[in-house]
Copies of this chain bind each other. A is one copy, B any other.
């Protein structure tokens, strides 16, 4: 939960110019204690609701990708036609409800360590993600 001057600082430190658009996106994404999951169109909607600023889709895409590159966001592998992002950048896993397309965190402490007894010659592990699909009882 940072204020605008702090986002400006954060952006500058990342080598990103603190534009009106980037600051607004920071506010929408990080002005809360809770982390959350979103798609680009979710985010566009959120920005529209918080109103006052109008940001083009191209800029939203650009910004989200640069934030992801800087490590401020994570992309989540949900099989879907849309890409999901997560403001929770810690190592964790997900429940996914295909019905309402909602994601829920499974923290590292809520899942047993995954041990894989196989490796691929010449390759090393970059990440391990568990996706638990759920449905209504």
Residues of A at under 8 Å CB distance from B? 75-79, 83, 95, 97-98, 104, 106-107, 109-118, 120, 122-137
CB pair B110–A123 under 8 Å, yes or no, is no
Rounded to whole Å, the gap between the CB of A109 and the closest CB of chain B is 8
CB pair A111–B115 under 8 Å, yes or no, is yes
CB pair B137–A116 under 8 Å, yes or no, is no
CB pair A120–B133 under 8 Å, yes or no, is no
4 tightest A-B CB contacts, nearest first: A77-B79, A123-B134, A110-B118, A126-B133
User: Can you list 6 A-B contacts with CB-CB less than 8 angstroms, sorted by A residue number?
Assistant: A78-B79, A112-B114, A112-B117, A116-B130, A123-B134, A124-B137
CB pair A132–B137 under 8 Å, yes or no, is no
CB pair B133–A127 under 8 Å, yes or no, is yes
9 additional A-B pairs beyond A125-B132, A126-B134, beta carbons within 8 Å, are A97-B123, A98-B126, A107-B118, A122-B136, A124-B136, A127-B132, A128-B131, A128-B133, A129-B132
Complex-state Cα separation, A115 to B97, whole angstroms: 19
Contact A111 B122, CB 8 Å, known A127-B133, A131-B129: no
Complex-state Cα separation, A110 to B63, whole angstroms: 39
Q: Which of A79, A107, A117, A125 has the most CB of B within 10 A?
A: A79
